[in-house]
Amino acid sequence: MKHLLSTADLSREEAIAILDIAEEMRETGTRQVKKLPALRGRTVVNLFFEDSTRTRISFEAAAKRLSADVINFSAKGSSVSKGESLKDTAQTLLAIGADAVVIRHPDSGAPARLAATDWIGLPIVNAGDGTHEHPTQALLDAFTLRRQLALREGVSPVGRGLDGLKVAIVGDILHSRVARSNLWLLNTLGASVTMVAPPTLLPVGAGAWPCRISYSLDAVIESGVDAVMMLRVQGERMRAAFFPNPREYSRYWGLDDTRLKALEAKGHDTLILHPGPMNRGLEISSAAADSPASMVLEQVTNGVAVRMASLYMLLSGDLI
Amino acid sequence: MKYLIRQAAVLGGQATDVLIIDGKIAQLGELHDAEATVIEAAGLVLLPGLVDPHTHLREPGREDAETVETGSQAAARGGYTAVHAMANSTPVADNAGVVEQVYELGRKAGWVDVRPVGAVTVGLGGQQLSEIGAMADSRAKVRMFSDDGICVWDPLLMRRALEYVKAFDGVIAQHAQEPRLTEGAQMNEGEVSAVLGMTGWPAVAEESIIARDVLLAEHVGARLHVCHVSTAGSVEIIRWAKARGICVTAEVTPHHLLLTDEKVKTFDPVFKVNPPLRREEDVLALRAGVADGTIDVIGTDHAPHPSEAKDCEWGAAAMGMTGLETALSIVQHTLVQTGLLSWADVARITSFTPAKIGSLEDQGRPIAVGEPANLTLVDPAARWIVDPSTMATKGRNSPFAGMELPGAVRATFFHGHPTVLDGALATPRVAHD
């Protein structure tokens, strides 16, 4: 593995290998001394062209727990706001001595472009590009699902996929890089996916995706699912006529208290995931966010482990 | 000067000798002339000099991207003897002063006839008609008017423009793009954009404007030219309009005849263009549209950019591709070698009809005695690998870089003067007037 750009690039074996290493990394996170010496002396740059505190600190914690040095580069107030190109910014970081670049960028494909050009020649981790992909989020979601199912069955998650699991991804699919990365990875791992959204928030062309598509969250809950992933919905979308207003959105596609009860009544022990930050009362009610089925904080914890595994595999290099 | 082209296949037909004297075709047949410079052309196809209805020469304003000189050199190398220079320069070609400047630069450069296109609206602003009459009556004799790059979106303004140009024997060349449906658009909207998470440029944004415009043209009895048609649906609408007797002509670019949105998966902005690359079905429908005459002409939409405008991420990149030096090869590859067109058809779509649309009197003429010697010699058996660094255009943004293409321009005669000989730029023609 040279870069981590898209979950569509991962074979089942590679994906499971990352999840398995993440299991080991997660164990070290429960110890008193959380640090491993694996990447001592290496420098990881977090190159963030978009505001994101959660993902950046997760990558920062991951790199530091592997003893790497971390440089945080935020586009705001930097040379980028003075018109510096991505190429010049990246080459500057190379000259400073970076060994790997974790990049978040508002343009779909910017990390792939960085990887495909001769601008730098460093391993690239996509930390979210436009509305394209967010592969480490999908990996941490898969990790969370796999771990919970294994715990439930009292077996080890190591070496397993997500075969036969039914997952619903609900919300603003059109603008969601999380949904796309999850779609490919869940399929690779053997799960079946249903995308649930108002038709305005599904891309034209999604009919060719390897998933079912539904406009009715109630019908999908009624059919029985093992996990629901609620996506963040921006209230501003109503201004571009994607839906009439947040209340109507919530009424049809929000995981509200009534739907939480319906999920519980099915007796499926359906897991509730959300990539954060949550809009409580819009796509998810407080009762759902705080319920025992909610994996929201578990996802955050697992995110560090998955990002440790990703950086470790890219920078130590000899594993895959 | 006298030139004797020996044994050229005129429009791909009978091999003939062509004697050129003082800028005109003097004789055709089995010829001998001891004083003439002989050009051996056995195996080569002789075409009327190509006429591009759609070129961006960038001057004035963006001389870092292209100049009238370099752009018209690129045109000559591509076999062209006339180009229409689009109006979106800085300042905009929306008045007699700017169009005369561009015309003069072209005349002094001496590689091709540079025919400026006038803007439909002041500053391409879409608010107020520009001085169409003054541009038509200027030395540049503008006949084609276009806000290309921007759609004349306001239906009332478009109606008025279509009506008004009738007084000056002009034509409105429309860039059909519904602006609200294409806000922030990056690529064709479809299965590929769904996967890549890019804002889509839906086919309906082009088709709805073309549908509106052909009905407007019918209503006011004007003629309409549609720039760079890119979708199967657009071809159907234009086919319907022509069957109904509406006076509409349509253009397709070489890149839309070959490339699809699958190329965008590379995220290489060399494939970023407006209108965007479409689906395979669209490419095939466009070729069929050319074959049955629905689409009248090839327009390169040659759009050179400095390297920094493409050496970046997709979203930051400029839209556009170079095309003058590859157009004829792409036409041969996609239309001749597929059996859809003969060389006589190629002459029609690249020269005869574009010259008529632009009202160019001494371009796109038959290859006959007494006609101006605007001619192109093509070697259809040649094959070459596209290398943008060797091109005459300043732009290095060719989407065909690295591809092997058929057909090479061996010579171009511009009013009887060879601007290209042995496949390389020769000398410009010195204007006598």
B194, B197, B311 member nearest A130 (Cβ): B197
Q: What per-residue confidence (pLDDT) applies to B225?
A: 98
The CATH homologous superfamily for domain B49-357 is Metal-dependent hydrolases (3.20.20.140)
Residue B7: DSSP 8-state: E
Mean pLDDT of all residues in chain A? Answer: 94
Its ipTM equals 0.95
Mean pLDDT of all residues in chain B? Answer: 97
Nearest-angstrom CA–CA distance, A295 and A299 = 6
Residues of chain A whose C-beta is under 8 A from some C-beta in B? 8, 85-87, 105-110, 112-114, 116-117, 129-133, 177, 180, 203-209
* Residue range(s) occupied by CATH 2.30.40.10 in chain B: 2-45+371-425
Q: Domain coordinates of chain A in residue numbers?
A: 7-133+300-316, 135-299
Nearest-angstrom CA–CA distance, A26 and A251 = 38
Place of tokens 């003058």: B324
pLDDT in tens, chain B (433 residues): 899 999 999 999 999 999 999 999 999 999 999 999 999 999 999 999 999 999 999 999 999 999 999 999 999 999 999 999 999 999 999 999 999 999 999 999 999 999 999 999 999 999 999 999 999 999 999 999 999 999 999 999 999 999 999 999 999 999 999 999 999 999 999 999 999 999 999 999 999 999 999 999 999 999 999 999 999 999 999 999 999 999 999 999 999 999 999 999 999 999 999 999 999 999 999 999 999 999 999 999 999 999 999 999 999 999 999 999 999 999 999 999 999 999 999 999 999 999 999 999 999 999 999 999 999 999 999 999 999 999 999 999 999 999 999 999 999 999 999 999 999 999 999 876 5
Q: Which residue, among A43, A44, A39, has the nearest Cα to A66 in the 3D structure?
A: A39
Nearest-angstrom CA–CA distance, A2 and A317 = 8
Tokens of A12: 């089942």
Characterize the bridge pairing of strands A69-74 and B144-145. unpaired
CATH annotation of B2-45+371-425 = 2.30.40.10
What digits encode the pLDDT tens for the residues A104-124?
Answer: 999 999 999 999 999 999 999
B148 is catalytic: no
For residue A311, what is the enclosing H or E element? helix A296-316
Nearest-angstrom CA–CA distance, B76 and B393 = 11
Which segments within B219-335 are labelled E, that is strand?
A: 224-226, 248-252, 297-298
**Can A7-133+300-316 and A135-299 be said to share one CATH topology?**
yes
Characterize the bridge pairing of strands B404-414 and B375-385. antiparallel
pLDDT band at A319 (very low <50, low <70, confident <90, very high): very low
> Which residues 6+ apart lie within 8 Å of A27 measured at CB?
none
* Residue range(s) occupied by CATH 3.20.20.140 in chain B: 49-357
Instruction: Kindly determine whether residue A116 and residue B195, on different chains, have CB atoms separated by under 8 Å.
Output: no
Query: Which class does domain A135-299 fall in?
Result: alpha beta
Determine the residue of chain B that is closest to A132 in CA distance: B197
Q: Over 90: is that where the pLDDT of A186 sits?
A: yes
Q: Which residue, among B247, B243, B249, B246, has the nearest Cα to B290 in the 3D structure?
A: B249
Determine the residue of chain A that is closest to B187 in CA distance: A108
CATH annotation of A7-133+300-316 = 3.40.50.1370
Given a contact cutoff of 8 angstroms between Cβ atoms, the answer to whether B384 and B57 are in contact is: no
